[in-house]
A = this chain, B = another copy of it.
Amino acid sequence: MPIAIPEVVIDRLPVYARALALLERQGRDVVSSQELGEQLGVTPAQIRKDLSYFGRFGKQGRGYNVGRLLAELRQILGLTRDWSMVLVGVGRLGRAIVGYAGFAPQGYRIVAVFDSDPAIVGSDVDGLIVKPVDALESALRDQQVDIGIVAVPGANAQEVIDKLVAAGVKAILNYAPIAAQVPPDVHVKDIDPVLALQSMTFYVKDQTTAAK
């Protein structure tokens, strides 16, 4: 059990879970690592190896029971409970995040929103009253919050992240364009479409011009 599990493995598990949920909705009850791998663009051996870190969920000659494996993965990833999140930064991006329909079905709820702009504080965003960032720490003392979402301009992001960390938040979803500095026990995932675009353009920069 004290065997360290590579982070890349953990990153793949939600992808497996997502594919299994789709298969379940389609009424499938068993699936092989072969078939799952083809759908996801991963080798079957990779899937089996990843799963073997956590147990033996398959049956030789058959494959994996879809519902069973999905339940196991949800258990492993902690998806069996709901997670409460706070959002900091209620600009255009922040409002879009509050309105994003993809969180709720997976059990992720935004329970409070904060902003530093006095003109925005007090206004209503999808049923939530915007609170001042100064109230962040006291608000996090009152209610249990698991995850922080940062959607402020890059210049203020580190400062906001520091406040979240000080308030005891251990998981941060960062939309700001900075490389956040956090202690080792805090987990940060960056969402930055611009970085994604900039790395893709490296590969296509010659082709597209030549195709003209």
Asked whether, in the complex, the Cβ of A78 is within 8 Å of the Cβ of B205, the reply is yes
Asked whether, in the complex, the Cβ of B201 is within 8 Å of the Cβ of A83, the reply is yes
Q: In the bound complex, how far is the Cα of B116 from the Cα of A68, in angstroms?
A: 36
Q: In the bound complex, how far is the Cα of B77 from the Cα of A144, in angstroms?
A: 43
Q: Which of A109-160 contact B (CB under 8 A)?
A: 144, 146-147, 154
Given known pairs A102-B193, A177-B18, the reply for A198 and B77 (CB within 8 Å) is yes
In the assembled complex, the CB of A55 is this many whole angstroms from the nearest CB of chain B, namely 15
Asked whether, in the complex, the Cβ of A19 is within 8 Å of the Cβ of B102, the reply is no
Q: In the bound complex, how far is the Cα of B83 from the Cα of A82, in angstroms?
A: 40
* Partner-contacting stretch, out of A8-16, A44-52, A57-65: A8-16
Given known pairs A147-B200, A200-B147, the reply for A15 and B191 (CB within 8 Å) is no
Q: In the bound complex, how far is the Cα of B13 from the Cα of A205, in angstroms?
A: 15
* Residue in contact with A179 in the complex, picked from B15, B96, B194, CB distance below 8 Å: B15
A3 at interface (Cβ–Cβ under 8 A)?
no
Question: A97, A102, A168 — which one has the most chain B CB atoms within 10 A of its CB?
Answer: A102
Q: In the bound complex, how far is the Cα of B39 from the Cα of A48, in angstroms?
A: 38
In the assembled complex, the CB of A178 is this many whole angstroms from the nearest CB of chain B, namely 8
Given known pairs A204-B146, A204-B170, the reply for A102 and B41 (CB within 8 Å) is no
Asked whether, in the complex, the Cβ of A101 is within 8 Å of the Cβ of B92, the reply is yes
Q: In the bound complex, how far is the Cα of B77 from the Cα of A198, in angstroms?
A: 7
A195 at interface (Cβ–Cβ under 8 A)?
yes
Given known pairs A194-B106, A197-B83, A204-B170, the reply for A179 and B144 (CB within 8 Å) is no
Apart from A14-B195, A81-B205, what 5 extra A-B contacts exist at CB < 8 Å?
Answer: A77-B205, A78-B202, A96-B99, A146-B208, A170-B208
Q: List 10 A-B contacts (CB under 8 A).
A: A103-B194, A106-B198, A108-B197, A147-B200, A170-B203, A171-B197, A171-B201, A173-B197, A187-B204, A191-B191
Closest 6 CB pairs of A and B: A78-B205, A96-B96, A14-B198, A189-B196, A78-B201, A171-B200
